[in-house]
Amino acid sequence: MTDPKSTADEAPETEHPGALTHVRADGAVLMVDVSEKAETSRRATAVATVITRDDVVRLLVAGELPKGEALAVSRVAGIMAAKQTSSLIPLCHPLPLSGATVDFAPSGDRVLITATVKTRGVTGVEMEALTAASVAALTLYDMIKAVDKHVVITDIHVIAKAGGKSGDWTHE
């Protein structure tokens, strides 16, 4: 159902500094208009941690989990998820991704997942990197749960971004 108060000709963004960017003055949500933003190269990296048991991580690395080669499947799932972010997160813009990587660093009882996504566009790829890391972690969870019902996914966050008006940023 459409909002009877809105028209296609309305300027959706508020003109008040510090105001919410995805909410009109009348309180309706919107997808921010980025048509006037400059196209730049953009990159974002996000991480997630999967915590299990040492023996499970060894099985994972050896490709010997009951569900098979979990790292390869999780890598593909993360990349596919990055490409579908705008279908999953309501106000995200669909972006032409120029690259996406998902890497794993197993150590002891945990696996650090690092996802990096790149584009040349008018808005950043932080949500795509977060989605890639999250879905890769969820896929590992799914493949590990047969041998460890106590798997934990934690510490999902952006660790770096580059490009755009706000410039480069790294998480401390």
Cβ atoms of 47 and 136 within 8 Å: the answer is no
Q: Which residue has the tokens 């790294």?
A: 170
Contacts by 102-107 with C-beta closer than 8 Å and gap 24+?
Answer: 102/74, 102/75, 102/78, 102/132, 102/133, 102/136, 103/75, 104/71, 104/74, 104/75, 104/136, 106/57, 106/60, 106/61, 107/57
- Is 9 considered catalytic here? no
Q: Does the structural domain 40-170 have CATH classification 3.40.50.20? A: no
Cβ atoms of 70 and 78 within 8 Å: the answer is no
- Opening angle at CA 149, ends 148 and 150, nearest 5: 90
Query: Which residue is catalytic, options 26, 54, 109, 142?
Result: 142
Chain CA centroid to CA 128, Å: 4
Residue type, 13: E
**Rounded to two decimals, what is the model's pTM?**
0.85
Cβ atoms of 157 and 114 within 8 Å: the answer is no
Q: What is the pLDDT of residue 12?
A: 41
Q: What is the pLDDT of residue 171?
A: 92
Per-residue pLDDT of the chain (172 residues; tens, 9 = 90+): 444 444 433 444 444 456 667 777 787 888 888 888 889 999 999 999 999 999 999 999 999 999 999 999 999 999 999 999 999 998 899 999 999 999 999 999 999 999 999 999 999 999 999 999 999 999 999 999 999 999 999 999 999 999 988 889 999 7
